[in-house]
Amino acid sequence: MPDIAINSFLREQLADLKTKGLYKSERRIETPQNPGITVNGRPVVNFCANNYLGLANHPEIVQAARDGLDQWGFGLSSVRFICGTQEIHKQAEAQIATFFRRPDSILYISCFDANGGLFEPLLGERDAILSDELNHASIIDGVRLCKAQRGRYKHSDMTDLRAKLVEAKDCRFKMIFTDSVFSMDGDLAKLPDICELADEFGAIVAIDDCHGTGHLGATGRGAAEELGVLDRIDIITSTLGKTLGGASGGFTAASAEIVDWLRNRSRPYLFSNSVPPSLVAAGMKALDLVDTSVELRAKLKANTAKMRSGLEAAGYTVKPGPTPILPVMFGDAAVAGKVAEALLAKGIYVIAFSFPVVPQGQARIRLQVSAAHSDEQIDAALTAFREVGRELGIAGY
Ligand SMILES: *Cc1c(COP(=O)(O)O)cnc(C)c1O
């Protein structure tokens, strides 16, 4: 293979990332995903998976995937509309729709695709899309593909959203789209206020509930249920890759007309393969388990509260919020990185985030608590945080 010019350019770019501490290297975990995993031959407690209810590798989900494989085969070698739709796909879509109390839903290979394929089919030049500035990358990319007028409002700033709605008041359709849970900060979108504004301006409300589905709300219907506005939301996108089993698959739940139109016009659906039956079957089992997971949601709440109060008692600053995402704030990127390294050495696997993933000067360690963490694992994490705080001489410990 010739060493083409772009290679040497990229070598410089990659070296630059490394100099700036922005290069992402991937740690290899040597076990299936669980609260306890093995990294570099050492057992560690995992606090950085989106495995909120502990359903990743749940035996019933793994068995459902096996049964799906046995009964329906490995893969379809087709997109849905040619010869890639089996009974199981229709059943899963009906189950997802019922779960969210919507008329219909449509499966995608991922929620990245659900978001990527949502805006362009629905909104054109005469329409407007109002999007929270901290929305997920898949939403930003999806919005880029559509010709609607764009308004990016300041994070959860209802005054700014109102101003953007006023600017868009003559548009045919206006859609407000927000992450329901912001994954770097663990805060919820102000959905009740957003719904009120939407009513006032006749706007569509659409949310991405990836970090809420399954574990938030009294029955696990996500952030909108938690905030009491589930039935007012027009469009919900979410993933099977987090709480709902942790493999992959995404979906959009909405009116029958929206879903039917997406089946006809959404490009990641039309031009990408059918979701494999094993994943579909596993997703359906995950939804069943969510319905019977009252104890798991209670355990998640208890674990989160224990972790938060323990960290605060040890002198750490944890951003407030109602979700199992706990951002432990350090400000300085080097300090956050050092603390994460020291914690890993003590068997606690966490990740430090710094600019550009979070704003300059707001470096943090993001802990993601799971219902599957044992009391001993939470205690071990708190002990490690206390020790590291002392050893690194961070004030207050
Ligand atoms: C994880 C995530 C996605 C992507 O979901 P996949 O199914 O993994 O593609 C989209 N939006 C948000 C907010 C997410 O957190």
DSSP assignments along 237-260, one per residue: EEESSSSS-SS--EEEEE-HHHHH
Cβ of 211 closer than 6 Å to ligand 1, yes or no, is yes
Atom of ligand 1 nearest to the CA of 248: 7
- Ligand 1 centre to CA of 165 (Å) is 26
The span from the CA of 189 to the CA of 178, in Å, is: 7
Mean pLDDT of 342-367: 94
Instruction: Read off the tokens for 258.
Output: 């929206």
Eight-state DSSP code of residue 31? S
Dist CA 297 CA 213 (whole Å): 12
Per-position DSSP letters for 124-160, written without gaps between them: -TT-EEEEETT--HHHHHHHHTS-SEEEEEPTT-HHH
Q: Whose CA is nearest to atom 2 of ligand 1?
A: 210
Measured CA to CA, the distance from residue 11 to residue 119 in angstroms comes to 36
Q: Specify whether 90 is catalytic.
A: no
Nearest to 381 by CA among 316, 299, 297: 316
Q: Which atom of ligand 1 is nearest to the CA of 239?
A: 7
Q: What is the pLDDT of residue 372?
A: 98
**Which pLDDT does position 22 carry in this prediction?**
81
pLDDT greater than 90 at residue 395: no
242 is catalytic: yes
Q: What is the mean pLDDT of residues 353-375?
A: 94
Q: Provide the token pair at 154.
A: 């300041």
Write the pLDDT tens digit of every residue in 112-141: 999 999 999 999 999 999 999 999 999 999
Is the predicted pLDDT of residue 396 greater than 60, yes or no?
Answer: no
pLDDT at 397 over 80: no
Across the range 11-37, mean pLDDT stands at 92
Which residue from 186, 123, 134 is spatially nearest to 160, judged by alpha carbons?
A: 134
Distance 111 CA to ligand 1 centre (A): 5
Phi, psi of 94 (to 5 degrees): -65, -40
78 is catalytic: no
Domains and CATH numbers, the chain: 18-53+294-392 (3.90.1150.10), 59-290 (3.40.640.10)
Catalytic residue, candidates 164, 174, 215, 242: 242
Average pLDDT of the chain? 96
Ligand 1 pocket mutation pick from 210, 248, 323 by most atoms within 8 angstroms of CB: 210
Q: 274-333 pLDDT, tens per residue?
A: 999 999 999 999 999 999 999 999 999 999 999 999 999 999 999 999 999 999 999 999
